[in-house]
Amino acid sequence: MNIFFHLVHLAIIFFFLFGWLLSQTVLAHFILSILILLSWYGLGIFFGFGYCLVTDIQWKIKKRMGQEPYTEYYIKYMLDKMTGLDLNPNTVNAITTYTFLVILLFSTALILNRQFNFF
């Protein structure tokens, strides 16, 4: 089950990073972006900024398997695993947030252009 959630996480991240580039997936990307926004900032009101339901479920699975996640953020977790470093969580969160906002702006512009020919 843990591997399944790794695949879900990686698919979400990959699609978020690149889904806005294809005209066929712009709407699906925009919907995903809004869901991420609602999770981070909407549910974040109750569970803390940057809350991710998928991470929450995966961390519960890891705990049941006897693995205690050392960070609450999946992106930091994966970057640390891939690099062998212990990256600064504030830096990772800042880069993640700014990347999200820039891509959300691009995605929103593409949706507005498609619907109303703004550009």
Q: Mean per-residue pLDDT for 85-94?
A: 96
Considering only CA atoms, which of 13, 18, 23 is closest in space to residue 79? 13
What DSSP string runs through 16-29? HHHGGGSGGGHHHH
Residue 86 has pLDDT above 90, yes or no: yes
Confidence of residue 118 (pLDDT cuts 50, 70, 90): low
Mean pLDDT value across the chain: 92
Contact 2, 58 (CB under 8 A): yes
Q: Residue 117 has what pLDDT?
A: 78
- Measure the CA–CA gap between 63 and 65, rounded to whole angstroms: 5
- Chain segment 30-85, per-residue pLDDT in tens: 999 999 999 999 999 999 988 999 999 999 999 999 998 889 899 999 999 999 99
Q: What is the CA radius of gyration of the chain?
A: 16
Q: Residue 116 has what pLDDT?
A: 83
Q: 3-state DSSP: the chain helix, strand, coil percent, rounded to 5?
A: 80, 0, 20
- The burial of 45, by beta-carbon neighbours within 10 Å (0-12 exposed, 13-18 middle, 19 or more buried), is given as exposed
Confidence of residue 119 (pLDDT cuts 50, 70, 90): low
- Measure the CA–CA gap between 18 and 21, rounded to whole angstroms: 6
The residue with greater pLDDT, 104 or 117, is 104
